[in-house]
Amino acid sequence: MSSVVKDQTIRSHDQFLSIAKDMFWLNATLQTESSMFTVIRHLEFTLIQLIQQIDELLYAVQYAILGN
């Protein structure tokens, strides 16, 4: 009887370790994807600002050239 309990305890512990390892991997993956998503959004915002500034610069140059 004790060997059955011992074997079941060992299997349960191995399964627990496997689940813990999978949970750690999933958490690390989700955290990395979330951080990457945030960085991509910041880059998009910065690019939009740059495009607007370039447009304003072009308008200023055209205004100066046309003398309006």
- Confidence at residue 6, expressed as pLDDT on a 0 to 100 scale: 80
Whether pLDDT at 1 is above 70 = no
- Confidence at residue 63, expressed as pLDDT on a 0 to 100 scale: 86
Q: Could you tell me how many helices (H) and strands (E) the chain has, helices first?
A: 1, 0
Whether pLDDT at 4 is above 80 = no
pLDDT in tens, 13-68: 888 888 888 888 888 887 888 888 888 889 999 999 999 999 899 888 888 888 86
Give CA–CA dist 12/20, Å, rounded: 12
